[in-house]
């Protein structure tokens, strides 16, 4: 089949590579524009999908938004049989979804209908799900509401981070995508309608979402630390300055919520119920370091208080 691929971050890279390796004809790759980075914001950094597309010699389109007569005319000109969307970063309108002859399918990082939306991976970890997975669905106007063509489940480990889970789901999604395309090539593939009574949502992560609270159970704090490791990082403040914490797990302990009750090779912070142990930190303006190095550098000690 002739495919137009929509994707942007590293999560989408295995799927694009799998399409090419499986001898699918990729007519073009649509991705987000290069983003300015660095202190001066003068250096433009291409998204991971663009880097791979150029390496593979594929045509790349980078509209600010996938709308308008110019974009849709260009998409029609590609004469694609199918659109494949993997973490593109924009909601596609019905007039775009209907351009490929056989519509569009999406690789979504959850077991739909659980965790529809922009951030299924961290929300699954934060809520303590025992398993998650990937779903290949047909796209329609609703948010991740289309019929599901295939699901692949995987357990969420007790020390799983958002980064490790995303890597595993990216590979699972790529393999499931190739399998679905092989079956689509043999004819129409009916999808399973989603159970509307089981729908949950995973809204976009913002700064408030990633802020740590020590007032509740240590288990909830540990899940949040793991969910946002390595990026964007769960954060709190110490003496008015931001600190990101990593490598969290709940341990026994008591004290005033937010109080450091042990500081050595690890840091133990009292919570409303139990305590949170962390192994690494990233103080404001610094790189990520071990707690041991932070303690030896006198950046933190017993009795300090996170707010």
Each residue's pLDDT tens digit, 18-39 = 999 999 999 999 999 999 887 6
Tokens representing 153 are 């489940």
> What is the arithmetic mean of pLDDT over 214-238?
98
Q: In CATH, which superfamily holds the domain spanning 207-296? A: Formyl transferase, C-terminal domain (3.10.25.10)
pLDDT band, residue 131 (cuts 50/70/90): very high
Class in CATH terms, 2-198: alpha beta
Contact 122, 163 (CB under 8 A): no
- Three-state secondary structure call for residue 261: strand
pLDDT tens by residue, 64-91: 999 999 999 999 999 999 999 999 999 9
> What is the arithmetic mean of pLDDT over 155-182?
97
- Kindly list the distances between the CA atom of residue 101 and the CA atoms of 78, 172, 191, in Å, as whole numbers in the listed order: 11, 26, 17
Rounded CA separation 172/175 (Å): 5
- Domain extents for the chain? 2-198, 207-296
pLDDT of residue 40: 66
pLDDT over 70 percentage in the chain: 99
């Amino acid at each position: 089949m002739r495919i137009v691929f929509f994707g942007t971050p590293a999560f989408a890279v295995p799927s694009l590579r799998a399409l090419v390796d499986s001898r699918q004809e990729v007519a073009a790759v649509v991705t987000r524009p290069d983003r300015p980075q660095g202190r001066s914001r003068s250096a433009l950094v291409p998204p991971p999908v663009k880097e791979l597309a150029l390496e593979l010699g594929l045509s790349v389109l980078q509209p600010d938004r996938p709308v308008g007569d110019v974009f849709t005319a260009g998409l029609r000109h590609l004469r694609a049989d199918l659109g494949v969307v993997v973490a593109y970063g924009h909601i596609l309108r019905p007039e775009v979804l209907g351009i490929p002859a056989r519509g569009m399918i999406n690789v979504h990082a959850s077991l739909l209908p659980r965790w529809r939306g922009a951030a299924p991976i961290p929300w699954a970890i934060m809520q303590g799900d025992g398993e998650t997975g990937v779903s290949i669905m047909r796209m329609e106007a609703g948010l991740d509401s289309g019929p599901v063509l295939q699901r692949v489940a995987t357990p969420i480990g007790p020390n799983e981070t958002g980064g490790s889970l995303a890597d595993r789901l990216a590979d699972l999604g790529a393999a499931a995508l190739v399998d679905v395309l092989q079956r689509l090539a043999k004819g129409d593939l009916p999808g399973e309608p989603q159970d509307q009574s089981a729908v949950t949502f995973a809204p976009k992560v913002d700064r408030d979402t990633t802020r740590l609270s020590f007032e509740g159970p240590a288990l909830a704090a540990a899940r949040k630390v793991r969910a946002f490791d390595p990026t964007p990082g769960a954060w709190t403040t110490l003496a008015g300055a931001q600190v990101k914490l990593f490598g969290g797990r709940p341990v026994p302990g008591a004290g005033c919520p937010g109080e450091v009750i042990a500081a050595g090779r690890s840091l133990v912070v009292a919570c409303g119920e139990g305590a949170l142990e962390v192994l690494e930190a990233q103080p404001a303006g610094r790189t990520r370091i071990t707690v041991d190095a932070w303690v030896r550098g006198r950046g933190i000690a017993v009795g300090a208080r996170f707010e």
